[in-house]
Amino acid sequence: MSARCRPMTDVSPSPAAARPPRGTFLKRSLAWLLTAIALIGIPLWVGSQSRADTAAQVAERGWACGMSVLGLFLFGLMLAALLSLASLLLGGLAYRATPYPRSGWRLAELLVFSLPLLAGLAVVVAMFAGG
């Protein structure tokens, strides 16, 4: 029997093939962190700032104008959209580095990363289309 026709006995993948590509975990972790800040941290910050601003206005004048609160909400939404764009780019790079076959959960992960961005774009389109 020649060396060419010898049957293969070990067909297990190498340990390097079983690991995800280098840097994928860091990109995904950072993308999840940015998304958590955009979905949880920014709304909490905007809520606390709007309550503090309203209380300061009431204490000073006896009434509160809602324009500063509206500005805070729009600023928070745009900041969340910007963080979402960064997390979507990091998640997309990690998804692209993942070898085939790619999991459907990874695609759903990209959808979660894009939610604040989609909300920000919807508000911007509604502002320009409605006016």
Q: Pick 23 or 49 by higher pLDDT.
A: 49
- Judged against a pLDDT cut of 90, whether residue 106 lies above it is answered with no
DSSP state at residue 53: H
Peptide bond into 116 cis (omega under 30): no
* Contact criterion met (CB below 8 Å) for 106 and 95: yes
Name the percent of the chain lying above pLDDT 90: 18
Contact 63, 30 (CB under 8 A): no
Q: What are the tens digits of pLDDT across the range 27-78?
A: 888 888 999 999 999 999 999 999 998 898 888 888 888 888 888 998 999 9
Assess contact for 80 and 120: CB atoms under 8 A.
yes
What gap in Å lies between CA 106 and CA 91, rounded to an integer?
9
Q: Which amino acid type is present at position 3?
A: A
